[in-house]
Homo-oligomer: A and B are copies of this chain.
Amino acid sequence: MKRITIVSIFLILFIVCKALAQTNNIKVTNINELNSAIKNSNPGDNIVLANGVWKDVEIKFYGKGTKEKPITLTAEAQGKVSIEGVSNLKIGGSYLIVKNLYFKNGHTPTKNVIQFKIDNNRIANNCTVTQCVIEEFTQPDRDVSDHWVEFWGRHNEFSNNYLTGKSNFGPTIMIRLEGNENIYNYHKIINNHFGPRPRKGGPHGETIQLGDSGTSMTPSHTLVANNFFDRCNGEIEIISSKSNFNEFRNNVFFESEGSLVLRHGNYAIIDGNVFIGNDNSKFIGGIRVINTGHWITNNYFYKINGEAFRSALAVMNGIPKSPLNRYNQVTDVVVAHNSFIDCKSPWQFSVGSNVSQSDVLPATEIRSARPERVEIANNLIYNNVADTFPIVNYDKVDGVNFNNNIINNENNGEVKPEGLITKTVSITKKSHNLFVPNENMKDVYMGFDFETITKDLFGNDRTTNNSIGAIVNPVKENAVLIDKSKFGTSWFNPEKAKAKSKTINVSTSEELISKLKEANSGDIISLNKGTFKLNSSLVIDKAISIVSKNKKSQLVFSSQNTAFEMHPKGYLTLKNVVLTGNKSQNTFNTLDKNMSKAYNLHLDNVEIKNFMSVLEVSKGSFADSITVANSVIKNCERGFMLNKEKNDGGDYNAEFVTITNTTFDGIQEVVLDYYRGGYDESTIGGNLTLKNNTFTNSGKAEKDQILIKNRGIVNVEFANNTFKNNPVKVIAILWGEKGQEPGENTIINSGNIEVVQNLELKLMY
């Protein structure tokens, strides 16, 4: 009897398990088969895309799986199924899983690459996208906006994916909250590797955006956890949280030029994240705080040197009774148990205060409402090299309570709260970038609800053994800040093996043209002695250096076409050469359109003469970096024309323009026109360095009588230049409010350098 019972139980268990495990593999080889498989799918089905390139496919994956028996769409073999061309994927229904797809060599025909909704009647719930890669699946036109992943519905998950190289407008991942079907979403964005996103030059380059101001009152409850943000440089906001109750836990922000920004919405939790900067960059930020009720705990900041908007902890001023899309006052925020290691002035308050700009901005733009009821407690500031201004304040700091924070150096700043205590702290480097105090600092302040902070950065218990800062001892032996095994797919290797660069000698024009075409990215073309006559454009669509082998070789251009045509990803280095035109062409042009990715241009010891413009660009083009050093540019109509991005939405045509030790002579019109239009403090870019140059006999045909135009560019260094006999009224206009001032320049018979405190700005919303 007993035996029969046991056997029966086993039998039942077996059947149940069998039923649960039962999957029905359906292999499909083209879109029609796929559509049919989807249409006929049942819970437990496993639809398998055959290996190969799936080109120009718009997949609508609809089905109703169950929790136990989801419907899966996957690849025959990981990495062997790529979605290419003009393609996308929409998911609708419930308990669907998409995995192992590889999006590359293309872009979406719609607003999204992966969308968790087919239409309003087919929204995804409890669906998962995992083990997928989206690589440079970016719009040909950088100005065309899209999202790579757009969330709708509830309880959807995006996990263990790798995304990189989005260079067009639009956040990489967007959470949408319009409609009750999409609130209380509890989406999970977990364990992904967000590979490098290049600088975009202006706003709309977030890696994740959660809602927008129009839905900023909605309860979202999205979890963003255990992701690796790896040089996500799209814009000043890596993550822009614009809804309520989102949670950001245990992510690593690695050398990403921006911040985790609580832009709209309230009651976010930012716990256990790691922010890693370096000694070289002021662009890498931490957390920027706006609005109400956030808890920022257990975070570890290392070498964050950003200022103001990009400081490790930037607490903003709000606009009194702010419009929905602007800046609410910061209130009731808790910042507790964080560690700031080797950061520069990590705490900045009333960031964005702009009371001084009342003349040029309407009252509804003036951020004068200081933070209130903000609790800063139990944090550690540690610097190996003393930073005696740990706090920067842009207004009075009267609404912030400091309790039991410890700093290992003197605080010589204007704000000296009693609750920031100078104390010797002995610290040990446990692993790369990880510094832990040798002893727990047990004088912990217990603020309201602080008993809910039960764990430290590594998940260690705080209830029995607590300490100031993000970490409680003992730390486990092998603790690391970044554990790459947690992030991204199991099958895709984001580290591309670099081809070894080779040097190719060329002696004739024909050789130059053909070798340039054949060269691999990274190669160096070495010009033998002599003159190379060229009557067509040289196309630059990869990283290439052109250098003279010995004495400067000459490139002489006779066509009306541009001498060099810069394509997306064209990284051109010219060294030690002479470029001569016939006054009918430009030296460098970008493509007129489809400049989908950035280009770079580096000139060193180059002579440029007899051209129309040195550089002309198209509106959608973007140069990451343009450097000119030790060069001579003469007898041209115009210099560098980075002035076509005139949306006036905070965008611009180049991130860095650096001109040093260079002579401009006989440039008829403007020498440089570098433009960033519109009032949008959410872009703070444009970087111009002009040092140790000489400008002579230039600007005579410039109708505005300005030699150098840098309208709206935020960061400008302008020093040690010589201006002689330039018949203009104004050499340049600097922007006082951004801290711009001319260094020591020599000016002879050349107009003045003006400084304007506040530019009149065009509001963009």
Tell me the bound Cα distance from A53 to B178 in angstroms. Answer: 58
B324 and A267: CB pair below 8 A?
no
A180 and B217: CB pair below 8 A?
no
Contact A324 to B328, CB < 8 A, known contacts A180-B448, A183-B293, A217-B217: yes
B180 and A328: CB pair below 8 A?
no
Please pick, from B180, B293, B321, B765, the residue contacting A321 in the complex, using a CB distance under 8 A: B765
- CB-nearest residue of chain B to A266: B217
- CB-nearest residue of chain B to A244: B217
Tell me the bound Cα distance from A181 to B447 in angstroms. Answer: 10
Tell me the bound Cα distance from A178 to B329 in angstroms. Answer: 13
Give the residues in chain B near A325, CB-CB below 8 Å.
Answer: 321
Within 8 A of B (CB), among A350-397: 364, 373
**Minimal beta-carbon separation of A123 from chain B (angstroms):** 10
A218 touches B (CB below 8 Å): yes
Interface string of A323-354 (1 = CB under 8 A from B): 11110110110100000000000000000000
A180 and B334: CB pair below 8 A?
yes
A213 touches B (CB below 8 Å): yes
A179 touches B (CB below 8 Å): yes
A178 and B292: CB pair below 8 A?
no
Give the residues in chain B near A323, CB-CB below 8 Å.
Answer: 321-324, 364
Tell me the bound Cα distance from A324 to B178 in angstroms. Answer: 20
Contact A217 to B321, CB < 8 A, known contacts A180-B449, A448-B180, A448-B181: no
Give the residues in chain B near A322, CB-CB below 8 Å.
Answer: 323-324
A403 touches B (CB below 8 Å): no
A219 touches B (CB below 8 Å): yes
A219 and B267: CB pair below 8 A?
yes
A635 touches B (CB below 8 Å): no
A291 touches B (CB below 8 Å): yes
- CB-nearest residue of chain B to A292: B217
Tell me the bound Cα distance from A329 to B215 in angstroms. Answer: 10
Tell me the bound Cα distance from A373 to B179 in angstroms. Answer: 7
Tell me the bound Cα distance from A527 to B565 in angstroms. Answer: 108
Give the residues in chain B near A373, CB-CB below 8 Å.
Answer: 178-180
Please pick, from B179, B292, B321, the residue contacting A213 in the complex, using a CB distance under 8 A: B321
Give the residues in chain B near A331, CB-CB below 8 Å.
Answer: 178
Tell me the bound Cα distance from A267 to B214 in angstroms. Answer: 15
- CB-nearest residue of chain B to A265: B217
- CB-nearest residue of chain B to A291: B217
B179 and A332: CB pair below 8 A?
yes
- CB-nearest residue of chain B to A323: B321
Give the residues in chain B near A183, CB-CB below 8 Å.
Answer: 293, 332
A180 and B218: CB pair below 8 A?
no
**Minimal beta-carbon separation of A495 from chain B (angstroms):** 44
Tell me the bound Cα distance from A323 to B327 in angstroms. Answer: 10
Give the residues in chain B near A291, CB-CB below 8 Å.
Answer: 217
Give the residues in chain B near A292, CB-CB below 8 Å.
Answer: 217-218
Give the residues in chain B near A181, CB-CB below 8 Å.
Answer: 448
- CB-nearest residue of chain B to A264: B217
Tell me the bound Cα distance from A334 to B214 in angstroms. Answer: 18
**Minimal beta-carbon separation of A269 from chain B (angstroms):** 13
A293 and B180: CB pair below 8 A?
yes
Tell me the bound Cα distance from A178 to B183 in angstroms. Answer: 25
Give the residues in chain B near A217, CB-CB below 8 Å.
Answer: 217, 244, 266, 291-293, 328
Tell me the bound Cα distance from A328 to B293 in angstroms. Answer: 21
Tell me the bound Cα distance from A326 to B321 in angstroms. Answer: 9
**Minimal beta-carbon separation of A370 from chain B (angstroms):** 14
Give the residues in chain B near A326, CB-CB below 8 Å.
Answer: 321
Within 8 A of B (CB), among A183-219: 183, 213-214, 217-219
Give the residues in chain B near A332, CB-CB below 8 Å.
Answer: 178-180, 183
Tell me the bound Cα distance from A218 to B323 in angstroms. Answer: 17
Contact A293 to B765, CB < 8 A, known contacts A180-B449, A323-B322: no
**Minimal beta-carbon separation of A118 from chain B (angstroms):** 16
Tell me the bound Cα distance from A661 to B282 in angstroms. Answer: 81
**Minimal beta-carbon separation of A285 from chain B (angstroms):** 25
Tell me the bound Cα distance from A267 to B215 in angstroms. Answer: 13
Interface string of A438-469 (1 = CB under 8 A from B): 00000000001100000000000000000000
**Minimal beta-carbon separation of A607 from chain B (angstroms):** 53
Tell me the bound Cα distance from A266 to B265 in angstroms. Answer: 13
Give the residues in chain B near A178, CB-CB below 8 Å.
Answer: 331-332, 373
Tell me the bound Cα distance from A244 to B292 in angstroms. Answer: 13
**Minimal beta-carbon separation of A142 from chain B (angstroms):** 27
**Minimal beta-carbon separation of A741 from chain B (angstroms):** 36
**Minimal beta-carbon separation of A320 from chain B (angstroms):** 8
**Minimal beta-carbon separation of A117 from chain B (angstroms):** 14
Give the residues in chain B near A364, CB-CB below 8 Å.
Answer: 323, 364
Tell me the bound Cα distance from A244 to B179 in angstroms. Answer: 17
**Minimal beta-carbon separation of A689 from chain B (angstroms):** 38
Within 8 A of B (CB), among A507-554: none
Tell me the bound Cα distance from A213 to B321 in angstroms. Answer: 8
Tell me the bound Cα distance from A321 to B216 in angstroms. Answer: 11
Give the residues in chain B near A213, CB-CB below 8 Å.
Answer: 321
A293 and B448: CB pair below 8 A?
no
Interface string of A280-303 (1 = CB under 8 A from B): 000000000001110000000000
Most interface-central of A181, A217, A324, A326 (chain B CB within 10 A) = A217
14 residue pairs from A and B, CB less than 8 Å apart: A178-B331, A179-B373, A179-B448, A180-B293, A180-B448, A180-B449, A181-B448, A183-B293, A217-B217, A217-B266, A217-B292, A321-B325, A321-B326, A322-B324
Additional A-B contact list (8), CB under 8 Å, known A179-B332, A180-B334, A324-B328: A178-B373, A180-B449, A183-B332, A213-B321, A218-B266, A219-B267, A321-B326, A323-B324
Q: Nearest 8 CB-CB pairs, A to B?
A: A321-B324, A321-B323, A321-B325, A217-B266, A180-B332, A323-B323, A217-B292, A181-B448
